[in-house]
Amino acid sequence: MNITRENIDALNAVVKVDIAKDDYSDKVEKILTDYRKTANIPGFRKGHVPMGMVKKQYGKAVLVDEVNKLLQDALNKYLTEEKLDVLGQPLPKQQDDINWDADSFSFEFELGLAPEFKVELKSKKPITHYNIIADDKMINEQIERIQKQYGKIVSEKEVKKDSEITGTFKNEDKEIDNTTTITLDQFKGKTTEKKFIGAKVGDVITLKTKGLFADDHELMNALKVPHDDAHDLDIEVTFTITEINSRELADLDQDLFDKLFGKDVVKSATELKAKIKEDAEKQFVQQSDQKLLNDVTEYLVENTKFDLPAEFLTKWMQVAGETEMDEAQAKEEYEKSEKSLRYQLIEGKLMEENGLKVDFEDVKNNAKNMIKMQMAQFGQMNPTDKELDDIAARVLGNQDEVRRISEQVVSQKLLNLYKEKANIKTKELSYDAFVKEVYGDK
């Protein structure tokens, strides 16, 4: 067997594999001999079928199968030994005239080669890493929500600004008939609020759904309509009030603290504020880190310049999926996935250059930490190592979960690398200010 490579350019190559009779003849002969021992052919006893007849009936199929196996094994071994960093998979060049009666065969494969490039982590302009804090306004609002949640419900005669209003939304044409409880702060704008203020049980209020709530998902829940219907829904509905309540705020006493956090974990309003601040800011870290990861990723993709074997990858995408695509579909798919492919190459290079690896212990420990946090949400604060190991073993028996957790581990290792080596500045601000700066004034 002989394998040669012709480099078309830095990103494309053609590998030619020449297979001679000596490479496959012994294997083919052995398989046909075994067939002869077991073949059931009318007119012959088992094991006494003439070899010529066996070869005539099975010879070409066995030859094709063995040559293809030999070809794939040789090609994979060649790519490994030559340390070729290929993109996608080798594509066989079209050959319609293979003469399987010949003694030797030649096959050609197109290769798409990964580009050579450098990754510069330090941007000229620093990338912001947000330190999101829970300010007094947020903490006080959270305390008030807790007091309302655990407070006493008081029946009211008419709707006030802070009332909880139970009633039924109706629209006959759309078959809407849903009873729900709402508060006035859910509505978008003051016009709707004014319609409710002073209303009494039994009153019927007519409302337009377009722009009724600040978020269309609230409209979906209030009317119990499908997600797609809720967006841009523009109809009139009636709301019949059946109950009006207010909440008498719960006292900030030890009984409330124990309900929230367990016996004597929090013993004063000051400690309550500190606990709420601590818990909130732990959640904010995840959002802040995800924002940093996204921003560094965007910077790297936009500023790490290299070419890709676009024509090869487009051809590969035509045949790589479960269903084949035509050329136009494959080109569209390549354009959609190019950015992701670029980042995969950048990510791989950063992992290699910085000695970052993900092993099974990393994945297992990440799974156990995830399980521990989930158990804590249900009050199981101190699971044993055996419990964690047993649950982790079940989770990691699912290959999709292993892949998902592995990706999380990679992201965390890269995040740590970015924090250490990228040009980052820290900016401290409240959660509301973070949302406004990052996502706009919602």
**Pairing status of strand 176-183 against strand 105-113:** unpaired
For range 60-74, the mean pLDDT: 93
Structural domains of the chain, ranges and CATH numbers in brackets:
2-113 (3.30.70.1050), 152-248 (3.10.50), 280-439 (no CATH)
For range 166-187, the mean pLDDT: 93
Helix (H), strand (E) at residue 343: helix 327-353
Asked if residue 132 lies in contact with residue 282, where contact means CB atoms within 8 angstroms, the answer is: no
**CA 7, CA 237: separation in Å to the nearest integer?**
69
**CA 203, CA 159: separation in Å to the nearest integer?**
11
- pLDDT for the residue numbered 236: 94
DSSP 8-state class, residue 158 = B
Q: Is residue 322 over pLDDT 90?
A: no
377-406 per-position pLDDT tens digit: 776 768 888 999 999 999 999 999 999 999
Supply 442's token pair: 């919602």
pTM for the whole structure: 0.74
260-271 per-position pLDDT tens digit: 888 898 999 999
Residue type (1 letter), 17? V
For range 49-68, the mean pLDDT: 89
190-205 per-position pLDDT tens digit: 899 999 999 999 999 9
Q: pLDDT tier at 441 (50, 70, 90 boundaries)?
A: low
DSSP 8-state class, residue 245 = E
Asked if residue 297 lies in contact with residue 342, where contact means CB atoms within 8 angstroms, the answer is: no
Supply 427's token pair: 């900016």
Long-range (24+ apart) CB contacts under 8 A made by 366-374 are: 366/405, 366/408, 366/409, 366/412, 367/392, 367/395, 367/396, 367/401, 367/405, 368/392, 370/405, 371/395
Q: pLDDT tier at 79 (50, 70, 90 boundaries)?
A: very high
**CA 310, CA 299: separation in Å to the nearest integer?**
22
- The 3-state DSSP class for residue 188 equals coil
- pLDDT for the residue numbered 320: 87
Task: For residue 133, give Cα distances in angstroms to 140, 142, 285, 287, 415.
Answer: 14, 14, 9, 12, 20
Q: State the chain's mean pLDDT as an integer.
A: 92
DSSP 8-state class, residue 163 = -
